[in-house]
Chain A
Amino acid sequence: MNLDILQILFFFLDTIGLWLLFRMCGENKWWALVPLYRFYKLSQCAQKEENGRTFFVLYFFNYFFQIISSIIQNFFPQFNGMVYMLDVLSLLLGIGSFVYKVRIYIGMCDVFSVSKKWVALWIISTGLGALVFALKKAFVYTPSVKKSAASESGLVAQETKEGLSINIKKRTVGGLLNKRNLLKDIHLNIPKGRMVLLVGGSGAGKTTFINAITGFEKADAKILLDGKDVYKSFEDVKYDIGFVPQMDMIRYNDNVRKTVLDAASLRLPISISDKEKNEIVDGVLDEFGLKAVEDNMVGKLSGGQKKRESIAMEFVSNPSLFILDEPDSGLDGVLARELMEHLHRISREGKIVIVITHSPDRVLDLFDDVIVLAKDADRTGRLVFYGLVEEAKAFFDRDRMEEIVKVINQKEEGGLGMADELIVKYGEIRNGRK
């Protein structure tokens, strides 16, 4: 009975404390009356929303198992054996939710710029912690300031029968509690035979963009490759897209020739005979300088050779859209240049070659166009620029791509934080052209 009274007292203390705190950090104070969900709101105050979501889920299931356990004990005593299991589960979830709760409290100390020692008070009683933080005059709520993100450009890329037409409205992840935009408002046309550089700071959405245009991760978008809708006809179009991932996603314990041959068997139409397939594989191995090592194990190849093996696997089906995610990582300047020259030659065969690289300046002369992506103030990937390399230099008033990336990176990442204004500027220029 005493315990029940104590629990009720703590509940009211939490409610009052959180009511005052929510008023301070701009949340709707009525949420303080809603058990459990108010902790999620507290995590938003503490700018620890992700931790708040995990806490919410863990705590919810903890409660759920406790309720089931209580029902079994009271109404189904014959299943009492299960109660122990449920209590153990509940304990595990309780430990997890406690850790996430502490993370939220630490976030609270951060946004109030006070010592982490105050976490102890929060642990003793959330209500007490909230009351002190809300009422103590020396404690000032100072969350990191959020800039407002650039508005949408209102542009739409014209749908074409040739080349790659990209119209991405948005690409979101998460559900009810954690919906988040990864990409937004990206519209462009890439004609055939172009070698395109894709740059952006880390987290700008380069790989998400690639996955969206290849149809691997669908966005709210319309992507046309030579007039074919990539999403609607993915099963057909996927064989026409070659994607070389950043990491060497190849089996090291298979030999070079067999790896390319198996890739050819998967990618080429069944109408191609074994003899023709072997000839194609021979040609590709020769073109990528792998003929001499065709009987070696992939794991025994050098870094450059592994990269070429990975590219050869995609090239074997002669795709018209060829995308490479950091193909030059781990390669020295000479090898990287050779590889890019090779890709340049491939683009001249009427293919679209899109390359992500973190060292673009050493091979910039090989690229025709550049796509610049950046995170806006809402941390959503946005298109800052698409056009000729020389136009990009003029637009950003910088000679080097690495300097351009610095200009668009947010300030907390060591950049100049100009992404939002440049997104608007680019949109205005393009709208003006229209």
Chain B
Amino acid sequence: MAGNDVRHRGGFRQIPIYIGKFFRMFIFMDDWKVLPFSALIAALVSYAVGNTMFVTMEGTMKGSLALTCVLIWNGFFNSIQSICRERNVIKREHRSGMKIGAYLSSQIIYQAFLCLMQAVITLAVFYMAGMKRVSSGVVTPFFLVDLAITFFLISFSSDMLALMISAVSKTTTFAMTVMPFVLVFQLVFSGGVFALQGGASILTNFTIAKWGMCAICAICGYNSLPTFTVWNQLQNLKGYEYEGMYPVQMVVDNIERTGNVEKFCMEIASNNQVAQYASTPTNVLNVWSYLLDFAIVFSLLSLFFLSKIDKDKR
């Protein structure tokens, strides 16, 4: 019989057991499939976004929103069922000495691995699709490294949010029902789909999508890109007649004749700059820290909710 002097494996020593278990499942069961799926979805989105990403303001805004969506989607799908599908097993093991902290730490490490892999895959796919590369990074000397860190943080913080939902959910059905609502919230309140005002704009600060977009736009130098929206509108209005004259056409022709199209577009763009997209190391580091904060808060909440597992009703 176990006596007081008999020591059992503590939480820290239990972590390798569960990491081993999760990686066995990754290799031998279906868990590895999240990686090719992330490549597939990245390929589809890169095809839809086209090659204007990181070239114009509009293309970058559209592309960063699409990229953020892909990464949030990846993170959600990695972990949304990971706890609730084995809730009964966790409960049993908890009663046999498993520490919830150890289990959750192993999950977090495993999920971080998945997110890192997916971030690299997504980056590779976009790179292969002809995404424009900025010459240098904002925080690190390398643009791709900055982008990879951002991708990882977006994916990981979303993963932790889904892990928290999984820790709260008693069944996989419940988790899968809640997930679309959270996803819609992330996208609608990202501020990227349409401009939000008043109280709703405050809510954007609580979305991973907003800060994800901020980081991507800051790293790719959004504020230094031209915008062609006004120029394209002017082209469409060239036929506008006023008192027998075509004022818009005159302006457009004049800009083209003097070779100032790009200068014009840059001047228009200078009015559309967004302070939160500033390409400074401080800004990017701040945004990264927000994403990391989300991940930490969601992890702690997961721990809190999962530690109540013994109170589950039959």
Residue among A239, A243, A250 making CB contact with B2, cutoff 8 Å? A239
B200 within 8 A of A: yes
Task: Report B12 CB to chain A, min CB distance, Å.
Answer: 11
- 0/1 interface trace, chain A 234-268, chain B, CB 8 Å (1 if under): 00111110010101011101110010001101111
One of B37-45, B67-75, B90-98 at the interface = B90-98
What B residues does A269 contact at CB under 8 A?
2, 6-8
Task: Report A231 CB to chain B, min CB distance, Å.
Answer: 14
Residue among A237, A239, A255 making CB contact with B24, cutoff 8 Å? A255
Assess whether A251 is in contact with B25, with CB atoms less than 8 Å apart. Answer: yes
Residue among B4, B24, B88 making CB contact with A236, cutoff 8 Å? B4
Assess whether B86 is in contact with A251, with CB atoms less than 8 Å apart. Answer: yes
One of B13-21, B159-167, B274-282 at the interface = B13-21
A54 within 8 A of B: no
Residue among A217, A237, A243, A254 making CB contact with B21, cutoff 8 Å? A254
Who on chain A is nearest to B89 by CB?
A249
B242 within 8 A of A: no
User: Restricting to B96-139, which residues have a CB under 8 Å from any CB of A?
Assistant: 96-98
What A residues does B244 contact at CB under 8 A?
none
Who on chain A is nearest to B16 by CB?
A265
B9 within 8 A of A: yes
Who on chain B is nearest to A81 by CB?
B199
- Size of the chain A interface, CB-CB below 8 angstroms: 38
What B residues does A87 contact at CB under 8 A?
none
Who on chain B is nearest to A246 by CB?
B314
Alpha-carbon distance between A94 and B211 when the two chains are bound, in angstroms: 36
How many A-B contacts are there with CB distance less than 8 Å? 87
Alpha-carbon distance between A293 and B189 when the two chains are bound, in angstroms: 52
Assess whether A236 is in contact with B6, with CB atoms less than 8 Å apart. Answer: yes
Assess whether A270 is in contact with B96, with CB atoms less than 8 Å apart. Answer: no
Alpha-carbon distance between A243 and B96 when the two chains are bound, in angstroms: 9
Q: A249-B89, A253-B29, A271-B7 are in contact. Are A266 and B14 (CB under 8 A)?
A: yes
A79 within 8 A of B: yes
Assess whether A238 is in contact with B89, with CB atoms less than 8 Å apart. Answer: no
Write the residues of chain B forming the contact surface with A, with a CB cutoff of 8 angstroms: 1-4, 6-9, 13-14, 17, 20-21, 24-25, 28-30, 86, 88-89, 91-93, 95-98, 198-200, 310, 314
Query: Can you give 29 A-B contacts (C-beta < 8 A)?
Result: A82-B199, A207-B314, A214-B95, A216-B310, A217-B310, A228-B1, A236-B3, A236-B4, A238-B96, A240-B2, A243-B95, A245-B88, A250-B89, A251-B86, A251-B89, A254-B24, A255-B28, A262-B21, A265-B9, A266-B93, A266-B96, A267-B97, A268-B8, A269-B2, A269-B6, A270-B7, A271-B6, A314-B96, A320-B1
- CB-CB nearest 7 A-B residue pairs: A81-B199, A253-B29, A249-B92, A249-B88, A239-B2, A269-B6, A266-B97
Write the residues of chain A forming the contact surface with B, with a CB cutoff of 8 angstroms: 79, 81-82, 207, 214, 216-217, 226, 228, 233, 236-240, 243, 245, 247, 249-251, 253-255, 258, 262-263, 265-271, 297, 313-314, 320
